[in-house]
Amino acid sequence: MASKSSLTGGVTAQRFEMKYILGPTQAEIVRQAIMPFVRPDPKAKFGHKYKLSSVYLDSPRLELFWASNLGENKRFKLRVRTYTEDPDDPVFFEIKSRYNGIVLKKRAMVHRRHMRECLEGWSVPPDALVLDDPAEAENLHLFRSYTKQYNAIPRLHVRYTREAYMSLDDDPVRITFDSDIACLPTIGETGNVRMNGQGWRGLPQHLVILEIKFTDSYPCWVQDLVRQFSLRRDSFAKYVVCVHMLRKEGYDIKGVPVGITG
């Protein structure tokens, strides 16, 4: 896996995450309980409830999947994320890494029309990045370095609906509810990140993933919330869960052809 220095240099975000798996009824109860302490995320471009889709890249041996599945202390994911299918909207090349429980995320905002060049190892067009920002250029360079190092290609799309809230106080706490999780095998497809179309497979359970994200520490009301509802912290990596589900259905993302329908 990547070295510690490569995972911690040039950080654009550092945070801790706590995840809890809820049923729909329990999620609604928790949602109502946090209302006095939060407001809809003001930074969410498409409103505090929105859909998003990410295509995950992995090596031929699925090394990134196995690192996450086995809970390795130092691991990362490579993904390209979108919030729309509008050809004029950008995509986000992201490296999400975890080291000693700290979550680090680096991203570069890329014009959608240049997604293929950036994923297939071609020279990066001078106008590929939306922002003329050295940090984003460095993040894109690191992303491409990892794809080359691991011979990583797109393996799987993961789509879900996110509902996001921010703390009313100065505490940098973000709470999200993720639901309607679905996936689509897309081996080697580098031209786009899908939101719609055929072939999507939803998880058999109607789960809601509650995530509490914070820096340094969280306020007392978060601790009270966890205690009040006896929430049990759990590990839930959407990419990993979707790979397992597809395998049970007989699909192997190491060799499933692009464009499965059904």
Tell me, yes or no, whether 259 lies in a domain.
Answer: no
4 phi and psi angles, rounded to 5 deg: -60, -40
pLDDT tens column, 23-71: 999 999 999 999 999 999 887 776 789 999 999 999 999 999 999 999 9
Is pLDDT at 81 greater than 50 in this prediction? yes
Q: In whole angstroms, give the CA distance from residue 42 to residue 135.
A: 24
Residue that has been written with the tokens 């706490």 in this structure: 173
The share of the chain scoring above pLDDT 90, in percent, equals: 69
pLDDT at 260: 43
Please tell me the total count of domains within the chain: 1
pLDDT at 4: 34
Tell me, yes or no, whether 260 lies in a domain.
Answer: no
Strand segments, DSSP code E, in the chain are 14-22, 38-40, 49-58, 74-82, 91-99, 102-110, 153-167, 173-185, 201-202, 208-214
Tell me, yes or no, whether 173 lies in a domain.
Answer: yes
Residue 220 belongs to what domain range?
Answer: 4-248
Tell me, yes or no, whether 262 lies in a domain.
Answer: no
Determine the 3-state secondary structure of 176 from DSSP.
Answer: strand
pLDDT at 14: 60
Tell me, yes or no, whether 255 lies in a domain.
Answer: no
What CATH number did the domain enclosing 19 receive? 3.20.100.30
Note the helical H segments in 114-215: 115-119, 134-150
The stretch 73-84 carries a mean pLDDT of 95
Tell me, yes or no, whether 135 lies in a domain.
Answer: yes
Tell me, yes or no, whether 257 lies in a domain.
Answer: no
Tell me, yes or no, whether 256 lies in a domain.
Answer: no
pLDDT tier for residue 115 given thresholds of 50, 70 and 90 = very high
pLDDT tens column, 138-177: 999 999 999 999 999 999 999 999 999 999 987 789 999 9
